[in-house]
Amino acid sequence: MKASKKLLAVILALVVGAVAAGCGGGSPESRELNLGVATGWDEAAVIANLSKIVMEEDLGYGEVRLQELELGPVIQGVASGDLDAYQDIWLPNHQAQIDEVENDVVQLDPWYEGSTEFGIAVPTYMTNVNAIPDLNQTGVDQILGIEPGAIISERIPESVIPTYNLEQEYVQSSTPSMLSQVDELSNNQEEFAFVAWRPHWMNAKYDFKFLEDPEDGLTDLNDGATILSIVNEDLPDDDPVAYAFLDAITLTEEQVNEIENINPNDYAESARTWLEDNRDVAQPWIDAAREAEES
């Protein structure tokens, strides 16, 4: 009888422990999280690295893993549960991708406090080029582009080029490769056109202007976007601490650009360096997570 009672006590303890763990309980060091990072999306790398550092160092998470994939697989990964969250959804830019997974993800409130812009740009020394159709009056034969998964990589060849009968070809590439060309061409004071957006460190480093789009060839990309996070539908129940933390994050354009400018080649280092002098910015995120842990 005594043995049976001991066995029952062990079983009950295991059940209670499993329930607590399933509800986000258990010791902090046992918690893990998987965050997606879309290739080429710098602000995605910035906020993911910030989250990783703060969650591991201030909230005691055992490991926050960052997984880099193309944008489509990242979104699908959050929907399937392979990833817990992705923090760089631009709406309405990514609305079509979100519609495909709307029943499997939860959208958080926008974390970015600023104005976004997305379009075709030229260096400011091209003084006679102020609108997209002006490109046909230049010697530019290409529009330097970014990743195929970006909506602008569809919109320019499918809408903008035919709208203005542009003579230029849109050339898909990667964000780092495009910016490398921007750097070289700018230094040589050559004429060129490229895809630009804000927030991004390019706005602080290069002198350029966004071209006007009088015929609205970029359609909804001309409207300001909101930047927010999505999490797997089960995260609010499985890990309310992580959910509260991710939902509490806010950053301004100035802060995003400042972090990116520290070291555009290593956002883990940039985030850590920035946090050394800006822990006060992250404190409300930490407080929200700890409040969820106590409730």
Give me the CATH number covering residue 201.
3.40.190.100
Residues 62 and 77 in one domain: yes
What is the average pLDDT across 183-195?
Answer: 97
pLDDT in tens, 46-98: 999 999 999 999 999 999 999 999 999 999 999 999 999 999 999 988 999 99
Residues 74 and 121 in one domain: no
Q: Give the CA radius of gyration of the chain.
A: 23
The proportion of the chain whose per-residue pLDDT surpasses 90, expressed as a percent, equals 82
Residues 74 and 141 in one domain: no
Above 80 in pLDDT, residue 25?
Answer: no
**Looking up tokens 């407080």, which residue turns up?**
287
Indicate the residue among 222, 245, 260 that finishes a domain: 222
Q: List all residues 6 or more positions away from 283 whose beta carbon is below 8 Å from its beta carbon.
A: none
pLDDT in tens, 244-262: 999 999 999 999 999 999 9
Q: List all residues 6 or more positions away from 119 whose beta carbon is below 8 Å from its beta carbon.
A: 152, 195, 196, 197, 210, 211, 213, 218, 221, 222
| pLDDT score at 204 | 86
| pLDDT score at 16 | 39
Above 60 in pLDDT, residue 11?
Answer: no
Q: Residue 17 domain-assigned?
A: no
pLDDT in tens, 223-250: 889 999 999 999 999 999 999 999 999 9
**pLDDT tier for residue 7 given thresholds of 50, 70 and 90:** very low
From CA 50, how far away is CA 64, in angstroms rounded?
11
Residues 126 and 258 in one domain: no
CATH code: domain of residue 55: 3.40.190.10
Residues 48 and 108 in one domain: yes
**pLDDT tier for residue 29 given thresholds of 50, 70 and 90:** low
122 and 211 Cβ atoms separated by less than 8 Å: yes
Residues 150 and 246 in one domain: no
pTM: 0.81
183 and 201 Cβ atoms separated by less than 8 Å: no
What is the span of the domain harbouring residue 210? 117-222
Indicate the residue among 222, 255, 278 that finishes a domain: 222
From CA 56, how far away is CA 66, in angstroms rounded?
13
Q: Residue 19 domain-assigned?
A: no
Q: Residue 266 domain-assigned?
A: yes
pLDDT in tens, 146-160: 998 888 999 999 999
pLDDT in tens, 104-161: 999 999 999 988 999 999 999 999 999 999 999 999 999 999 998 888 999 999 999 9
Residues 63 and 196 in one domain: no
Residues 133 and 209 in one domain: yes
Q: Residue 1 domain-assigned?
A: no
Residues 256 and 272 in one domain: yes
Above 50 in pLDDT, residue 13?
Answer: no
Which residue in 68, 79, 72 sits closest to 40, CA to CA? Answer: 68
From CA 61, how far away is CA 242, in angstroms rounded?
9
Indicate the residue among 165, 196, 222 that finishes a domain: 222
Structural domain tally of the chain? 2
The proportion of the chain whose per-residue pLDDT surpasses 70, expressed as a percent, equals 90
**pLDDT tier for residue 40 given thresholds of 50, 70 and 90:** confident
| pLDDT score at 187 | 97
Q: CA geometry: angle at 216 spanning 214 and 222, to 5°?
A: 105
Residues 69 and 139 in one domain: no
Q: Residue 179 domain-assigned?
A: yes
Amino acid residing at 240: P
Residues 211 and 127 in one domain: yes
